[in-house]
A and B are shown apart, each in its own frame.
Chain A
Amino acid sequence: MIQSGYFNPQQLAQEITSFNQKFVKGLDNLKKIQNIPAGVTEKEIVFQKDKVTLYHYKPHIKQKQKNNRPLLICYALVNRPYMTDIQENRSTVRGLMEAGQDVYLIDWGYPDRTDKYLTMDDYINGYLDLCVKELCKRHNLDAIDLLGICQGGAFSLCYAAMHPQNIHKLITMVTPVDFHTPDNTLTHWIKNVDVDLLVDTMGNISGDDMNWTFLSMKPFELMGQKYLNMVEIMQDEATLQNFMQMEQWIFDSPDQAGETYRQFIKDFYQKNLLIKGEVKIGAHQVDLKNITMPVLNIYAKDDHLVPPSASMALKKYVGTKDYTELSFNGGHIGIYVSGRAQKEVPPAIGKWLNAA
């Protein structure tokens, strides 16, 4: 029972009025936002196949130290890769370039219903392999550096295990490896879902449904509180612009090709086959012990999508003796966009890559 008298109804009423006034004023700032770019650093297309595009970021600064070996970023199929380059002062790509890297990025595009039968084999031994070979050819090298992010990290691990000769150094960021750690909410949720029935019925899994799943992890914060807090943000044009950029990215969600979703959810989330060495992709068996190149594994301490425990398991399963771990004090998204991340993460990657 409430037993105190510290509520002040008049104060509360005044607060509501103030809220409304701020909102109305904030609408003027909202009107000024005309263009929300999808990525800010200048880039060029160097390779294309079907809906997949390989981009090369054009150097925008004079690099102090230049790593001549290209770094390929392999992003997840979920959401869009411009998260890594969302704005000038919040760009992992720029940070990496400033740390001396020659950065390339794979954009998987937006699969439509005709892409429903695209498999993990198509993505990893097909598109990813083509991109890696294109860069080897372009730079006259046998192997490149690969940076995999989230699901793209899992793809990169599979690729490096299947084609170790093509990867010089491997970086994984917020990458799930052990999918059965007790704190993995997504694993709990998908545990009793009949994925075959889901994919057979839906074909592709829509980006909206993926988003809803992610929002449902913290529904009160992400569907309510966030937008209420936004009224304060609306007062400042620059902050509002940042908010809108994030908002665009969050809901810019490609559909998931049905067959890829089927294998990823069943083999990785439900059966946890990656750490058992039992994932089969095309004609290859994925054995993480084949990963003998240097590995840098970066995880976020407050990651609610990929818990640190799921990422840190990598150490136990890779074959390399050159394994480095880096923890970031933030969340799954903050690791790319927060101010602290800009200062810590890309420079650390650059330093690790530049080391002999």
Chain B
Amino acid sequence: MSEAKNFNANDILNSQRAFMEGWLSMMGGAPSQAKNSEEQKDGNWHSFMAQIRQASQTYFEMAQRFTSLSNDNLSIDQIAQDWINQMTALFSGMINQPAPRAEDMMKNPNSFSFLFPFTGNAFNKIYRSGDFSVVQGFFEEQIEQYLAMPSLGYNRKSQDEYKKFIALMMSYQKTTNDYNKAMGKVGLEALAAFQLKLVQEMNKEEKNLSLKDIYDLWTMAAEEVYGAYVVTEAYTVLYGQMINSMMALKQQASLMMDGVLESMNIPTRTEVDTLSKKVHAIKTTCDRLIPDEFEKMQQQIEALQKQMGVKRAVIKAAPAAKPGVKKSTKKIVKASAKTAVKKAAPKNQPASSKQSRNTKKKGK
């Protein structure tokens, strides 16, 4: 590494190159990941590396601005202010930009800021997860005439469906745009908070700020401002509107896709859902019936076994039947049988209730 006094732009370029080369070489030798989740094997690794790359890029971007090296002959104040101005322009742009087209949002969900992990991205991802490029293409080509004309003819129903889709698309664009603007404001406030923290830190005696210190200050400031905003009523309304409009759009797209699939005699999502619901209902019934029936059968078997035991006791107690046995002997046999039944039952309880109690205990 170069000595501080001889440090120049080439050193940075060389180290950046080493960074990228190291990173690229790793892509060919990813460690094995969770074995219990197939999709994690590769997905985690790549997303993990992407996270490092993204975080590093942010860091480098910041470094580039802050160092600007002495080549530009800028004072430290100017460098810091230059960076803050640039960020201000970025966030102001987010606030003032016209509503983006949904297609653009899908293509470039990360366009908002390199420093701002925009939380709305998740919903773009959800949006993208629905494969309705067919209707998207249709939307692009036909939007103007569909909006202008009333539905006519034998396919008016499908025309209405497309119109509904377009209306929902526009609603989603509006809510997403509102969300972006709100996040832009958060970004500006975060910058102001960052600037304040930076001044405080720099005014501390003997404090030599590292780039990491500056990055951490930015993170802290942004997190504080963002954290305070996202628990406000305004944010919860905005968040709800964005998700709801997203879901309404996606649901409509899914219904339209069902129509396309049906026309090709392919099972639809609605049909699969109906089947899943029926299977679940049948399974629930079976799962609950089988143990109940099993318990009943077990009770019956135990009752029968008891009865057989009683009969055996009766037979044991009775002398072998001989011709000419008197009636009084039969009475003795009956009395023995009663004793046997009583023995099987607890005191003050009929035999049948003891049977069921035993069964219950065993059933556990």
Q: Which residues of A contact B (CB under 8 A)?
A: 1-21, 23-24, 27, 30-36, 38, 80, 110, 113-114, 116-118, 122, 126, 133, 136-137, 142, 183, 185, 188-189, 191-194, 197-198, 200-203, 206, 208-209, 212-213, 216, 218-221, 223-228, 230-231, 244, 247-248, 251-252
Contacts and interface: CB of A to CB of B under 8 A. Distances in A.
A118 B36 CA distance: 22
A218 B227 contact: yes
A263 to B, nearest CB: 14
Given A3-B77, A6-B207, A136 B364 contact: yes
Contact of B67 (A3, A16, A197): A16
Contacts, number: 254
Majority secondary structure of chain A interface residues (helix, strand, loop or mixed): helix
A17 B22 contact: no
A118 B236 CA distance: 29
Contact of B247 (A122, A197, A228): A197
A244 B4 CA distance: 34
Nearest to B59: A228
Interface of B: 1-2, 4-5, 7, 11-12, 14-16, 18-19, 21-23, 25-26, 29, 31-37, 40, 44, 47-48, 51-52, 54-56, 58-60, 63, 66-70, 75-77, 79-81, 115, 117, 119, 121-122, 125-126, 129, 195, 198-199, 202-203, 207-212, 215-216, 218-219, 222-223, 226-227, 230-231, 235-237, 239-241, 243-244, 247-248, 250-251, 254, 272-273, 276-277, 279-281, 284, 287, 364
Given A14-B7, A24-B18, A188-B230, A197 B251 contact: yes
A132 B140 CA distance: 57
Contacts of B76: 2, 4-7, 9
Given A16-B15, A38-B34, A114-B276, 14 more contacts: A2-B199, A4-B199, A4-B203, A13-B69, A24-B21, A31-B29, A126-B287, A192-B241, A212-B125, A228-B56, A228-B215, A230-B52, A244-B31, A252-B44
Contacts of B2: 14, 17
B12 A13 contact: yes
Contacts of A116: 273, 276
10 contacts: A12-B210, A13-B69, A35-B32, A126-B287, A136-B364, A192-B237, A213-B122, A226-B55, A244-B31, A252-B34
Nearest to B206: A6
B122 A251 contact: no
Contacts of A188: 230-231, 235-236
**What are the nearest 9 A-B pairs in CB distance?**
A192-B240, A212-B122, A227-B55, A117-B280, A24-B22, A4-B202, A20-B15, A7-B76, A20-B19
